Structure 1
Amino acid sequence: MHDRDKVLIVDDEQAIVELMGLYLKSDYEVIPAYSGQEALDKVKSEKPDIILLDVMMPDMNGYEVCRVLKTSVETQFLPVVMVTALSGKDDRIKGIEVGADEFLGKPVNRLELVTRVRSLLRIKHLQDKILAERNEAMNYLDVAGFIVFVLDADMKIHLVNTKGNDILGYGEFELIGNDFIKSLVPEATGESLRETLSQAVGGEAELPEFTEHPVITKDGNEIPVRWYDVVLKDNSGNVTGILRSGEDLSKFQ
């Protein structure tokens, strides 16, 4: 029997935490928290699968907590349901802006609560499966000795494998969100590389079979790399970015 999913319930009113916990405890492991900071601490220590998050709390409101979670690489895919007595359009827009996945009104309806939690957990389990498969593929590339980056259409780094971090001297999440060319490519090479990749993303040109250009390590050294680039597309055929796999040429020198 697999472990039950963990639901973190956050509200500064104990009675509300207990009521929602009562609705969910037969199917899930319920974790209570009574403030925004306690919620963030529980996320680190308990690793919940979903959060039910009150908006109006005195120390750190739900919007602030949600923003912290959704801007962290480690918790950006953690489902967050904002639970609020506020019903205004502006309040919902604010919740969407900070990354909330769903909304529930107070007083909470039991059927609606259970349905929303079940639905979001189903999506999360699918995401977890996809991420696990992606990580397995990345592990194969690590073993093969390739540097691997996934860039979005603006050349921001979405993913880098362990081999890439090790060779360049960075920690696991240090490069995520940075512009690949500004952060890692020498200035003399950067402009022409950006033009080549941008044209490929825009469908204006084909990528070459491979390119060779150095990258700059965290301590300022340059490493020669042969790059093999592939345009990434979603299921609808829309371009989402570039996959760059690189072979460290310094080992041959």
Structure 2
Amino acid sequence: MRNQDKVLIVDDEQAIVELMGLYLKSDYEVIPAYSGQEALDKVKSEKPDIILLDVMMPDMNGYEVCRVLKTSVETQFLPVVMVTALSGKDDRIKGIEVGADEFLGKPVNRLELVTRVKSLLRMKHLQDKILAERNEAMNYLDIAGFIIFVIDGDMKINLVNTKGNDVLGYGEFELIGHDFSKVLVPENLEDEVRTQFEGALKGESELPEFIEHSVISKEGKEIPVRWYDVVLKDVDGNITGILCSGEDLSRFQ
């Protein structure tokens, strides 16, 4: 039987935390927090599945907490519901800008609260399943010994497999968000690789069947790699990025 989902409820007013907890405790494990910093601490220690986050708190407001969570690779997909007495359009826009997934007004309506939490958790479970399947596929590629990168339309690294991090000497999330060509490609090859990728991302040219060029490890060592690159597309056929699969040639030297 699946363990109960964890709901972190954050508000500097204890009565509000207790009331929302009362609405949810029959179906979820409720975790209370009474400040922004305590919320961040409990995200690390308790690993909640969703957060109900008050906006107006004295030490660190809800916008600041949400921004921290949504800019961290480890918590960027954690659903955050902003709970606020503020009703202005600018306040909602500010919440959207920091990555809030939903909004609830105070006083909280029980049916609305339960429905929003249930809906967001359903989406989270689906996303977790997709990520688990992706990770399983990545594990197969790790076993096969391939270096894998996924870069987006701006040439930023969105994903690196364990093999890639190990070969290049980086930690799990160190390369995420960095420009592939600027960080990893030797300076004398950077323009060539960048032009090739940009053409493929714009749909103006095709990638070669394979190409050999070195990448630079964290320690500055050039590692020869044979790359098999393919463009990635969404369901409408739009190009969204490039999957770079590399075979480490240094192991054959």
- Give the TM-score taking structure 1 as reference length: 0.99
Please give the alpha-carbon distance, in whole angstroms, between the structure 2 residues aligned to 1:235 and 1:121: 24
Return the letter of the residue paired with 2:132: A
- Once the two structures are TM-superposed, the CA of residue 100 in structure 1 deviates from its matched residue by 0.2
Return the letter of the residue paired with 1:124: K
Structure 2 SS opposite 1:175: coil
Q: Paired residue for 1:189? A: 189
Moved over 6 A (4+): none
Return the letter of the residue paired with 1:33: A
Please give the alpha-carbon distance, in whole angstroms, between the structure 2 residues aligned to 1:239 and 1:117: 33
Return the letter of the residue paired with 2:96: I
- Once the two structures are TM-superposed, the CA of residue 26 in structure 1 deviates from its matched residue by 0.5
CA deviations 1:156-202 (Å, max 9, x no partner) are 00000000000000000000000011110011101111111111111
Structure 2 SS opposite 1:155: coil
Gaps of 5+ in 2: none
Count of aligned residue pairs for this structure pair:
253
Aligned 1:1-253 pairs, distance under 5 A:
1-253=1-253
- Once the two structures are TM-superposed, the CA of residue 237 in structure 1 deviates from its matched residue by 1.4
- Once the two structures are TM-superposed, the CA of residue 133 in structure 1 deviates from its matched residue by 0.2
CA deviations 1:52-101 (Å, max 9, x no partner) are 00000000000000000000000000000000000011100100000000
Return the letter of the residue paired with 2:88: G
Return the letter of the residue paired with 1:201: L
Structure 2 SS opposite 1:130: helix
- Once the two structures are TM-superposed, the CA of residue 252 in structure 1 deviates from its matched residue by 1.4
Please give the alpha-carbon distance, in whole angstroms, between the structure 1 residues aligned to 2:236 and 2:78: 25
- Give the TM-score taking structure 2 as reference length: 0.99
- Once the two structures are TM-superposed, the CA of residue 136 in structure 1 deviates from its matched residue by 0.2
Gaps of 5+ in 1: none
Report the RMSD for the aligned CA atoms in angstroms: 0.5
CA deviations 1:197-240 (Å, max 9, x no partner) are 11111110111001111000000000000000010111121111
Identity %: 85
- 231-240 vs 91-100, greater mean Cα deviation: 231-240
